[in-house]
Structure formats: structure tokens, C-alpha cells
Amino acid sequence: MNKLGQLALGILLLLGVAAAGYWFGTRAVSATKATASADNPARKVLYYRNPMGLPDTSPVPKKDAMGMDYVPVYAGDETDAALSGFSSDKIQKLGVKSEAAALRGLNRILRVTGRIEIDERRIYTIAPKFEGWVERLYVNTTGQSVAKGQALFDVYSPDLISAQREHALAVQGLAALKDADDEVRQSMQRLAEAGATRLRNWNIADMSAASGDARPRVTFHAPVSGTVLEKKAVQGMRFMPGEMLYQIADLSSVWVVAEIPEQDIAQVQAGSRARISVDAWPARTFDGRVDFIYPALNSATRTVQVRMQIDNPKGLLKPAMFANAQIEVGKGGKVLTVPASAVIDSGTRQVVLVRLAEGRFEPRSVTLGDRSEDYVEVLGGIAQGEQVVTSANFLIDAESNLKAALGGLGHAHGGATQDQPPATEQAQPAAVGHRAQGTLEAINADGSISIAHEAIKSLGWPGMTMDFPLANPSLAQGIKPGTAIRFELVERKPGEYVVTKLQAQPGTSHGGH
């Protein structure tokens, strides 16, 4: 065999060896992948995210408008929804603190102002039911304290004398007719009872004169221990039936009537405990309870009156004093709560930062309920035991940072946030270039090119093969498929990226550019 034939045979053998090696290599890679898949148990797919990093997710596999497959996100790999990049040293320097969401009794203190008022049920009026004259006063000043049964004044009344004598004559006649027939005795008995009833109606039944000697004067006594609020009786004056001469109030227990704002009235219940303080006794507090909630709302002040019952045994609380009331309100049982400082209010939603791991935090939208001074009830969004950041000002020190943090919620919870409109409604983005490396796979008939690119960190894309339109068809001139390239992308409109620069990497074979 001549040298030319030997050379041709050698080339054929080399090509055969190369082909066999390629075939065995691909088989080995496939076997390795199969083995790796067999070794790793199937992981749970949480959702599928947009390959372009847009805030759009899907519970099932799908493609975007460019024909790219949505990227699966597995349990434990949802790092795209978290804020990361904070080292332990930086967290310590910034003073980041966290606390677990826990079940607590959410007792809130409602602070309101009110006034001391007399208990209406403890006010007594002395008003004789007959005509007469005041002959003598025993209690002669307003504000004087009196004891139950203490004499107040003496009165003289001709009507009283007449009633006493009529009753006495009826009693004497009944005794004289003891031997008369039953009909006469019954008539006299009715007359005697009518006289006694008349005296009882005047509240002087004990002054009936069975002996026939009428008492021309009667003494009125205090019906209760208390304070004389009003005294109209003057010695020698004439009074008419029903005219008020004294008004006495028992101040051993008083009311505090407070104005509760409309938005807080639902939290106040009858029986709620209250603590009262007044300026006259700044070092003391008085215990009480909510006794009554008035049924009407004041349309001018948008408040509802609430009445509290307060013991006042020493008379320190004076009617008309201003009072400060602290009413315990809130739910009786335990509810899931987080510190109030952990809640970030963006105006349209409330967010907490959940501490996933060291240096990783996830913004989580929450639904809030009742509040206390230090804690707030969480109705949904987090679970018991999750750590929430209580000093997160360093993460959200400007409005732009807040919007960026909230934007991550779309990846974790399936959709655009309220603070970020859908991609179709966003304004045209700025032309910012994203640089990457890859291999030119093909130049398509429609003028686009197919590139197998590496991961593009600035876009958050993993390595994949994609078709891209060219900003200028001449960019691919002289570059053959299979050439390692460097290229630059610009987002022409949401979700559509165009190659604006294409260059073969040094050391690769191409036709020139």
C-alpha cells in the first residue's frame, strides 16, 4: 500500500476512534445523569417561575411568549423570593433583632378622658306630700354630710292635724261600737283604715294618734347617709305638696362617664376593668368597671358615652372632676401575635420580614387584627414560631428599597404585588445591556440566532439555549455556528430581549467580523 493510502486509512481510523469516544462519552454522561437522578429522591415542585425574572408564576409547566419554558422552583430552593447577602458580621453591626410569632393574650389599654358624675340611683329628694310650714331646721347648709335617720327639719301642717284627728276618731269609734252589729262595725273599720292609708301615703304612718291627741308637728329625717346637694327649705317658709325641700346624694360610689371614639367602641364591653386617675390625686388610682354603654352616638364628636362604676368610700372623687380612664379591652383568649415594630406598612399592605436563615430574609404579606401597645394580632400570612425581624429599618431605608422587597413577593405567592403593576402595564424599561457568553448554535431563516448561553446573573437566568432577534443582521456576519461568542442583550420591551452586540471569543475559528 502506498503512502497516500496509508495516510487515508489512518485518518479514517482516527475519525472512527473519535466517533466511538463521542458516543461512549455521551452514553456515560447520560448514565451519570440517570444515576444522579436515581440517587436523589424526587423533590417537590412548589411552582414554575417566569424564565425572564418577571413577577409571574404558574402552578403547572408552561411557556412564555418567546417559547421559553418556565423554570421549576423546588421546596427549599425558593431563594429568589428572599432578601439575601447579609453576613453575620453585618447583621450584628446593624443591630438586627428577631422574635418568634407566638400565641399571646392581646390585652389593650384604651386611654380616654371623662368626668366624675353622681350615681343617679343614689340621689334622694325630700318633698312633703301635704301643705305646711317649716318651723325648724336641723340641717341648714348645702354640702353638709348627714347620716341615715338624722333629723332634717320640723314642719307644721293643718292638713296633717286634720288627717291625724280623723284617723283617731275612727279608731275610737270602732272601739265604742264593739257591741254593734257587724255592718256598723265594718263601716267604722273601713273609715279607720282609710285614715291610716292617708297617713301612710304621706310617709307619716307612725304618727297616727290613737289616743285622740293629734301631733301638730312632724320631723323629717334623712333617708340615706350622704351629702346635701340642694337645700331650699328656709325656716318659717310655707311649702306646697310635692315641693322639693332637700336633695341628698350618696357619694360612696360614683360614675365616670367617658367619651369613646367610634372606631374603638366595639372593643369595649360591659364588665371591662378600668383604672381611674384624677389631677387632684396624681399618685393614686381608683379601680372600677364598665357598667353601661350608652346606645346613642354623638354625631358631632363621633363618640359613644361609656359609664364606669367607681367606689368612693372616702369621698375623694368629687362630682364634675375631670378623670383619666384606662380601660382594658381586647380578646379574652390567646391569638397569634408579632411585635408591632415588626410590621412594615406600605400604605396598601402590611409586610413583615421573616428570617429564613442566617443572612436570608423573606418579605411576607400579612393580614392584621387587633393591636395592643406592643403587639399586633396576625390573622394570616405567617405561622406560629416563625422568626420575624423587629428592627428592619436598615433593609427598607427608602421607598425604592421597599418596592424592591415587595416585588419579591410575586415570586413566592404567585402574581404581581399591589405595589407593582403587571408586566404589560409597566412603562418601557431603560435600555440596560446584559453581557453574557455562550456558543452560537445556528442562524435561523427568519434572521434570529440560536445561542446556548451560560447563566446570566444580571437577569437571573440559568444556562439554556434560546433564540434571540438581532438588532442588526450584520452582527452575525462572518461568525459560524459552533463558535464561542460574547454577546450583549437589551430589553426592547417587557419580555423581549434583542442582541445588540455579538463577538467571537479570541482563539476560536470564525470567518472574521
The residue among 364, 374, 329 whose CA lies nearest residue 102 is 374
Cα separation of 239 and 155, whole Å? 10
Greatest alpha-carbon span in the chain? 178
Where residue 303 falls among pLDDT bands split at 50, 70, 90? very high
Say what percent of the chain tops pLDDT 70: 72
Cα separation of 43 and 41, whole Å? 6
pTM of the prediction?
0.48
Q: 267 versus 393: which is more confidently predicted?
A: 267
Question: Are residue 319 and residue 256 in the same domain, yes or no?
Answer: yes
Q: Determine the pLDDT at residue 419.
A: 43
**Structural domain contains residue 217:** yes
Cell of 88: 453575620
Q: Determine the pLDDT at residue 420.
A: 43
Highest mean pLDDT: which of 34-43, 141-150, 370-379, 486-495? 141-150
Q: 472 versus 224: which is more confidently predicted?
A: 224
Per-residue pLDDT tens digits for 403-438: 444 554 444 444 444 444 444 444 444 446 788 999
Question: Are residue 263 and residue 227 in the same domain, yes or no?
Answer: no
Q: Which of 178-182, 265-269, 384-388 shows the lowest per-residue confidence on average (mean pLDDT)?
A: 178-182
Q: 82 versus 317: which is more confidently predicted?
A: 317
Is the pLDDT score of 243 beyond 60? yes
- Give me the mean pLDDT over the 248-266 stretch: 93
Cβ-proximal residues to 190 (8 Å cutoff; 6+ apart), any chain: none
Is the pLDDT score of 87 beyond 80? no
How many CA atoms within 13 Å lie on the side-chain side of 209? 17
- Give me the mean pLDDT over the 118-124 stretch: 93
Cα separation of 365 and 406, whole Å? 8
Per-residue pLDDT tens digits for 14-38: 555 555 554 444 444 444 444 444 4
Question: Are residue 137 and residue 235 in the same domain, yes or no?
Answer: yes
Q: Determine the pLDDT at residue 48.
A: 77
Where residue 246 falls among pLDDT bands split at 50, 70, 90? very high
Q: Determine the pLDDT at residue 215.
A: 65
Q: Determine the pLDDT at residue 80.
A: 44
Q: Determine the pLDDT at residue 77.
A: 54
Q: What is the CATH number of the domain that holds 115?
A: 2.40.30.170
Q: What is the CATH number of the domain that holds 96?
A: 2.40.420.20
**Structural domain contains residue 483:** yes
Q: Sign (positive/negative) of CA torsion 476, 481, 482, 488? A: positive
**Structural domain contains residue 115:** yes
Cβ-proximal residues to 111 (8 Å cutoff; 6+ apart), any chain: 324, 325, 326, 327
What SS3 state is found at 455? coil
- Give me the mean pLDDT over the 61-87 stretch: 64
Is the pLDDT score of 167 beyond 90? no
> Where does a domain end: 181, 214, 239?
239
Question: Are residue 319 and residue 339 in the same domain, yes or no?
Answer: no
Strand order in the sheet with 71-74: 57-58, 45-49, 71-74
Mean pLDDT taken over the chain: 77
Question: Are residue 193 and residue 153 in the same domain, yes or no?
Answer: yes
Is the pLDDT score of 441 beyond 80? yes
Question: Are residue 315 and residue 345 in the same domain, yes or no?
Answer: no
Q: Determine the pLDDT at residue 459.
A: 83
- Give me the mean pLDDT over the 217-244 stretch: 91
**Structural domain contains residue 63:** no
Per-residue pLDDT tens digits for 184-205: 777 777 777 777 777 777 767 5
Q: 15 versus 379: which is more confidently predicted?
A: 379
Q: Determine the pLDDT at residue 344.
A: 81
Q: Determine the pLDDT at residue 397.
A: 38
- Give me the mean pLDDT over the 55-73 stretch: 74
Cell of 355: 428570617
CB 58 within 8 A of CB 48: yes
Q: Can you give the residue range of the structural domain that contains 437?
A: 433-504
Is the pLDDT score of 172 beyond 80? no
Question: Are residue 138 and residue 232 in the same domain, yes or no?
Answer: yes
Q: Determine the pLDDT at residue 88.
A: 62
Q: 165 versus 55: which is more confidently predicted?
A: 165
**Structural domain contains residue 499:** yes
> Where does a domain end: 239, 273, 292?
239
Cβ neighbourhood burial of 151 (10 Å; 0-12, 13-18, 19+): middle
Where residue 83 falls among pLDDT bands split at 50, 70, 90? low
CB 319 within 8 A of CB 116: yes
Cα separation of 469 and 448, whole Å? 4
Is the pLDDT score of 274 beyond 90? yes
Question: Are residue 353 and residue 398 in the same domain, yes or no?
Answer: yes
Give the CA distances from residue 161 to residues 172, 198, 201, 238, 269, in Å, rounded to whole numbers and listed in that order. 16, 12, 15, 16, 55
Question: Are residue 409 and residue 339 in the same domain, yes or no?
Answer: yes
Where residue 388 falls among pLDDT bands split at 50, 70, 90? confident
Is the pLDDT score of 288 beyond 90? yes
> Where does a domain end: 182, 211, 239?
239
- Give me the mean pLDDT over the 161-182 stretch: 74
* Residue 358, φ and ψ in degrees, nearest 5: -65, 115
**Structural domain contains residue 71:** no
Q: Determine the pLDDT at residue 325.
A: 93
Count of structural domains, the chain? 5
